[in-house]
Structure 1
Amino acid sequence: MNYAGPTEETPAYEGLDLVPFQGLRYDPERVGSLAAVTSPPYDVVVRPDGLLHLESADPHNIVRLILPQDTTPDVRNRQAAATLRQWLAEGVLTTDSAPALYVYEQRDGGLLQRGVIGALRLSEPSDGVVLPHEDVMPHVVADRAALMRATSANLEPLLLTYRGDGSATGAAAVVERTARREPLLATTTEDGFSHRLWAVTDPADLAEIRTDLARHQALIADGHHRWATCLRLRTEHPSPSPWDYGLVLLVDTARHPLRVRAIHRLLHRLPVSEALDAVSPHFRVRHLDVPLGEALAALASAAADGNAFLLAGDGAFHLLDRPSADLLARTVPADRPEAWRSLDATVLHAALLQHVWHVPEDSPEHIAYIHDTAATVEKAERDGGTAVLMHPVREEVVRDLARQGVMMPRKSTSFGPKPASGLVLRALTP
């Protein structure tokens, strides 16, 4: 049975309510390698060459489900659903015999991240249980919802964080005990990260995790659009049902702090020369004829003193800082906390995109949001657009604003490492 939800013996909690589910996992004997069937999250795979690379790595790569390719959205979604059914029928994907929570570990050199994958009861932001911190783009939510309806599955987990007390008790104790056992799977992806996964099925361990997490709230670190998608689809299905839950990875950042990186902007139809002409009356502009690493260091230094951005696309870098007080007073809404008003993403969207460059932030024809710094610069140079490179926001700023119920501009942050897609899926129908 794939239904994941409370029974009469396991009442729902007011805080985080994480329950086990029967995971769908690749049969290692039916694929080339586990690494070859994984993918970064759908919104990180931004370049056609990256998509083709993943598709060619193995005919069963998860990207064929999370980013199906065809002529229209309806055809793509039907194709993903048919592919999922085929893989299940052929035994490429198999259902675990018992409901479980899954301890998941990622390691890269000195970085170690461990968390728990499970089915989390959905809640509205007003409930104060799961805190979003970014706005979402309606067309992306609609696209993800259509795919989830077609496949009737959670294809990749969201990344959520919570703050434990730092001790190895409760959920943390179960995670550490479990990680000393032989894993269900272990693989190393081409980015150098090693991944290990364990199933937790012991009733006492499951109860210990669930009881501990019920005392906490979580911050959405990655997956705002997938969370909004789950909330939308929940309203389409009478409760109780599997649609009351979403697939998440929960990480205790008191024990395993995440990295916070920026998400950059690519302005397709704005050449660098036009961007600089329009912005020069409002920002100090310095031209940097240096490699990318040195340009990013200059951006970090400038960002320590205020809003700063790095433009690229014409073979050089251009550092914008010291915005005019008049521009900010005219364009940045005054009815929000100062921490929000001073965010780089706020100034970028409110002042630069809307008033200086007149770029519609909801139009994929005009703007793309890209995680990879070098890829953003390369694409801007190749296509004649403008790359806007951002400096990351500190996690404590994000969490503080989220607790106040203040939404940051969309795609303001990139928390990581993100869970690899393809290690465990969750079916929403038997």
Structure 2
Amino acid sequence: MNSEGPAATDGLRLLPFRGLRYVPERVGSLAAVTSPPYDVVVRPDGLAHLESADPHNIVRLILPQAGTAEARHRRAADTLTRWLAEGVLAADPEPALYVYEQRHGDLLQRGLIGALALSEPAEGVVLPHEDVMPDIVADRADLMRTTDANLEPLLFTYRGDGDATGATAVVEDAVRRPPLLATTTEDGFSHRLWALTDPLELAAVGKDLAGRQALIADGHHRWATYLRLRAERPDPGPWSYGLVLLVDTARYPLRVRAIHRVVRRLPVPAALAALTAGDAFRVRRVDGPLPRALDALAEAAAEGNAFLLAGDGSFRLADRPDPELLSRTVRADRPEAWRSLDATVLHATVLERLWRIPDSPDEIGYIHDAVAAVEHAERHGGTAVLLHPVREEIVRDLARQGVTMPRKSTSFGPKPATGLVLRSLALE
């Protein structure tokens, strides 16, 4: 990758790089060495399952296990060095952009993986929409700094012209050729990857993206990490870029799902008592099973703020918050679209005021899967708070206004599988 010149441009600048990829002959299977993104692997049993799938599973790099943070990150770096020396991972011979396809039934997603020039939010090229937790950014920064690598691509979206032109045309031409790799992971998704090295195709991609903005769909903490590491090394170079997957959602719309909360030390009876005191919320029991209860949540969310509570073997719907309570607890210096977000009301009104729960990892767990959230709450005596997803257009409109949502407000997907292509900054 040629990293000369300024990192910021008037639009998106996606550069080729020499991808690190697993050598198929050195692993059990490509599917067995992949993983979801690090923040989706939330439970110890999920981590153990991935570690046992193959001794070279990528989770040993993105979530290394040791007694201290320093030891974890050093273990990841040593493991990466060993795998390179043993030929488990190898660098592609020349820099490329990578076309990446995911398919599951009728769901099809295609995009470009490359090294994206970093830009600050004020520049308006990359639009964040969620706040981040400083301790997570610090941890990811130490891991990237120690391994000298971007281990997994962030998921970014942009709005193309809705047809097969520009970068999207290049993507759709590429998928007609034999792929570099193809595998199907245990979740039923098929994955294929192609390398783009032709100068004309790379030029077409660059010209199309030059005038566009990107929305961070998944990876706010890692993007903040990229910016922190670039600030440590302000001269142009490899740290002026970060690994991303860029998807044209006008052509390949993403799914938007909610991220649920588990309040670890708050039993359901105490949670309900605080919600009903003074008629803060209307709370009523709804019938299960979980899919049926989530349907009830969707109906209530269409009318206003609503949450589904679980953890004691039953489901309660909390909706119709007291308007005066909202006016006292939700800050007034933000757009109405932000003030009315379920995540805003949950954090400002419910967690901070009614439950008095600090937003720390010890107190609140963030879980993408509703079933897993309910099971976790039931197992540990806490309260699961299930949310209804936000529409993508609301997320994008707020981001364009420079307004960030409460952290972990949305889950865009499908997320790229981790382990199909890595970026070593030592090679650039």
CA distance in 2, matches of 1:423, 1:41: 12
Give deviations 1:311-365, integer Å, cap 9, x for gaps: 100000110000001110110001110000000000001100100001111x111
Q: TM-score, normalised by structure 1?
A: 0.98
Maintained 8 Å contact 1:104/1:117: yes
- Are residues 1:367 and 2:364 paired? yes
* Equivalent position amino acid for 2:426 in 1: T
- Are residues 1:263 and 2:259 paired? yes
The residue that corresponds to 1:175 in the other structure is: 171
- Are residues 1:148 and 2:151 paired? no
* Equivalent position amino acid for 2:253 in 1: P
Maintained 8 Å contact 1:4/1:119: no
Give deviations 1:127-185, integer Å, cap 9, x for gaps: 00000000000000001001011101000000000000112111011000000000000
- Are residues 1:36 and 2:19 paired? no
Maintained 8 Å contact 1:234/1:244: yes
Please give the secondary structure, in 2, of the residue aligned with 1:144: helix
Maintained 8 Å contact 2:8/2:119: no
The residue that corresponds to 2:238 in the other structure is: 242
Identity %: 74
Maintained 8 Å contact 1:23/1:424: yes
Residues 283-322 of structure 1 correspond to what in structure 2 (within 5 A)?
Answer: 283-322=281-320
Cα 1:36–1:331 change in 2 (3 A) is same
The residue that corresponds to 2:322 in the other structure is: 324
C-alpha root-mean-square deviation of aligned residues, in Å? 1.1
CA distance in 2, matches of 1:167, 1:293: 35
* Equivalent position amino acid for 2:346 in 1: L
Cα 1:286–1:11 change in 2 (3 A) is closer
The residue that corresponds to 2:76 in the other structure is: 80
The residue that corresponds to 2:340 in the other structure is: 342
Maintained 8 Å contact 2:7/2:118: no
Alpha-carbon distance, 1:11 to partner: 9.8
CA distance in 1, matches of 2:276, 2:141: 41
Maintained 8 Å contact 1:133/1:406: yes
The residue that corresponds to 2:195 in the other structure is: 199
CA distance in 1, matches of 2:268, 2:81: 47
* Equivalent position amino acid for 1:295 in 2: A
CA distance in 2, matches of 1:231, 1:401: 21
* Equivalent position amino acid for 2:296 in 1: A
* Equivalent position amino acid for 1:318 in 2: R
Alpha-carbon distance, 1:211 to partner: 1.1
Maintained 8 Å contact 2:4/2:237: no
CA distance in 2, matches of 1:378, 1:56: 23
Deviates more, 1:315-324 or 1:231-240: 231-240
CA distance in 1, matches of 2:369, 2:89: 30
CA distance in 2, matches of 1:365, 1:97: 45
Alpha-carbon distance, 1:239 to partner: 1.3
1:356 aligned residue (354, 357, 369)? 354
Alpha-carbon distance, 1:6 to partner: 4.6
Maintained 8 Å contact 1:6/1:12: no
2:399 aligned residue (402, 406, 413)? 402
- Are residues 1:272 and 2:268 paired? yes
- Are residues 1:388 and 2:390 paired? no
Give deviations 1:278-308, integer Å, cap 9, x for gaps: 1113000011241001000000000000000
2:106 aligned residue (97, 107, 110)? 110
* Equivalent position amino acid for 2:408 in 1: K
Cα 1:127–1:238 change in 2 (3 A) is closer
* Equivalent position amino acid for 2:272 in 1: L
CA distance in 2, matches of 1:12, 1:327: 44
2:123 aligned residue (124, 127, 136)? 127
Maintained 8 Å contact 1:15/1:214: yes
Maintained 8 Å contact 2:160/2:249: yes
Please give the secondary structure, in 1, of the residue aligned with 2:292: helix
Runs of 4+ in 1 over 4 A off after TM superposition: none
Alpha-carbon distance, 1:238 to partner: 3.8
CA distance in 1, matches of 2:272, 2:67: 37
Please give the secondary structure, in 2, of the residue aligned with 1:429: helix
- Are residues 1:423 and 2:420 paired? yes
Alpha-carbon distance, 1:5 to partner: 2.3
Q: Which runs of 5+ in 1 are unaligned?
A: none
Residues 206-221 of structure 1 correspond to what in structure 2 (within 5 A)?
Answer: 206-221=202-217
Please give the secondary structure, in 1, of the residue aligned with 2:250: coil
Deviates more, 1:232-241 or 1:29-38: 232-241
Alpha-carbon distance, 1:236 to partner: 1.1
* Equivalent position amino acid for 2:24 in 1: P
CA distance in 1, matches of 2:266, 2:129: 28
Please give the secondary structure, in 2, of the residue aligned with 1:107: strand
Give deviations 1:19-43, integer Å, cap 9, x for gaps: 0000000000000000000000000
The residue that corresponds to 2:374 in the other structure is: 377
Please give the secondary structure, in 2, of the residue aligned with 1:280: helix
Cα 1:113–1:420 change in 2 (3 A) is same
CA distance in 1, matches of 2:118, 2:49: 34
Maintained 8 Å contact 1:4/1:245: no
1:99 aligned residue (95, 100, 104)? 95
Alpha-carbon distance, 1:4 to partner: 4.5
Please give the secondary structure, in 1, of the residue aligned with 2:17: coil
